[in-house]
């Protein structure tokens, strides 16, 4: 998302961070997907959300090696404009699909923990599948509108001026702000509820682990996606001459680094799956023991 090739230092940073993100993220996400599909007999709200998030992360990771290649070759992209548009769609669309699904996961856990009676009305596997379908339809529909104005002669950078319209930037910033505020509110309320119930039950290790999962998920979300959206906004202001043009090149490089950081979310999501799956596994075993 820049108007020129990035600095060599940024390319080196991408080569250092992106390959481990791709390899570890792909392996861990595929393993998590296999566990959810073949080890869990019953589909719940959480497993449906996680499966959709895993698919989103895998699609983004698939485009990552091509993004690395595009930045290394600069303007000599030779794999076809149609394939380039497909890759760019996978990359940018799945970034926002992940943001929205992560927010839905947080909201779902908030309802389950803080409003257990409402959960019976608002939570069900069918409603979860509908919510995920709405996310995918909305994200891909918006991307189609944006990419219909796309006029890039190279891949992953040098995008047309139409992409940097005020309406598009405002829309992306609004999505992030709404999801970030939702995540913070739900996470804080869940942590308060879990700590209160943990205090009543004295040493409740399960609640302590749940607090850590909620907190780590919130921090991962904010650390990965906040710099990226700050970078988009600041770079847009520099392009629009609302701030000094002398900041244009540094902000372009900052934005590319933030994109690499946002990609790390695919790997960190997989660590989150591990703790959640482990929690499900223990709860399933305990329920089997009580039933026997």
The pLDDT assigned to 202 comes to 46
Helices (H), 115-204: 116-122, 125-147, 166-200
State the pLDDT confidence band at 121, using cuts at 50, 70 and 90. Answer: confident
Rounded Cα distance, 228 and 100, in Å? 15
Q: Does a structural domain hold residue 87?
A: yes
Rounded Cα distance, 68 and 54, in Å? 21
Rounded Cα distance, 152 and 137, in Å? 24
Q: Does a structural domain hold residue 269?
A: yes
∠ CA 177-268-122, nearest 5°, is: 55
- Is residue 153 over pLDDT 70? no
Q: Does a structural domain hold residue 1?
A: no
Q: Does a structural domain hold residue 31?
A: yes
Provide the domain count of the chain. 1
Contact 174, 204 (CB under 8 A): no
- Is residue 133 over pLDDT 90? yes
Q: Does a structural domain hold residue 2?
A: no
- Is residue 290 over pLDDT 60? no
The tens digit of pLDDT for each residue in 272-287 reads 777 777 766 666 555 5
Q: Does a structural domain hold residue 167?
A: yes
Q: Does a structural domain hold residue 291?
A: no
Give the H or E element holding residue 88.
Answer: helix 81-114
Spatial CA neighbour of 27 closest among 270, 262, 281: 270
Average pLDDT, integer, range 57-61? 93
The pLDDT assigned to 149 comes to 57
Rounded Cα distance, 107 and 100, in Å? 10
Rounded Cα distance, 20 and 109, in Å? 30
Stated pTM of the model: 0.88
Q: Which domain holds residue 15?
A: 8-285
Reported as half-sphere exposure (CB side, CA atoms, 13 A), residue 178 has a value of 9
- Domain with residue 29: its CATH number is 1.20.1070.10
The tens digit of pLDDT for each residue in 73-111 reads 765 677 777 788 788 888 888 999 999 999 999 999 999
- Is residue 161 over pLDDT 70? no
- Is residue 117 over pLDDT 70? yes
Q: What percent of the chain has pLDDT over 90?
A: 35
Q: Does a structural domain hold residue 133?
A: yes
């Amino acid at each position: 998302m820049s108007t020129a090739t990035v600095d060599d230092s940024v390319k080196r940073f991408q080569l250092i961070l992106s390959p481990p993100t791709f390899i570890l993220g792909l392996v861990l996400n595929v393993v998590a997907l296999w566990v959810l599909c073949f080890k869990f007999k019953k589909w719940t709200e959480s497993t449906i959300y996680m499966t959709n998030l895993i698919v989103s992360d895998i699609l983004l990771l698939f485009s990552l090696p091509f993004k690395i290649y595009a930045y290394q070759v600069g303007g000599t992209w030779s794999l076809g404009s149609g394939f380039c548009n497909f890759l760019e769609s996978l990359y940018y669309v799945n970034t926002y699909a992940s943001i929205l699904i992560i927010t839905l996961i947080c909201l779902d856990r908030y309802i389950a923990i803080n409003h257990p009676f409402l959960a019976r009305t608002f939570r069900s596997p069918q409603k979860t599948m509908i919510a995920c379908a709405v996310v995918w339809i909305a994200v891909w529909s918006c991307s189609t509108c944006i990419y219909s104005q796309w006029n890039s002669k190279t891949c992953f950078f040098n995008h047309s001026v139409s992409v940097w319209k005020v309406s598009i930037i405002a829309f992306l910033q609004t999505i992030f702000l709404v999801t970030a505020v939702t995540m913070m509110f739900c996470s804080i309320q869940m942590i308060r509820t879990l700590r209160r119930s943990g205090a009543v039950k004295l040493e409740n290790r399960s609640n302590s682990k749940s607090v850590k999962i909620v907190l780590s998920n919130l921090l991962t979300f904010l650390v990965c996606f906040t710099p990226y959206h700050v970078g988009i906004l600041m770079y847009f202001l520099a392009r629009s001459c609302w701030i000094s043009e002398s900041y244009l090149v540094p902000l372009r490089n900052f934005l590319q680094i933030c994109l690499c950081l946002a990609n790390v979310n695919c790997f960190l999501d997989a660590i989150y799956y591990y703790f959640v799956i482990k929690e499900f596994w223990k709860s399933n075993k305990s329920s089997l023991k009580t039933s026997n």
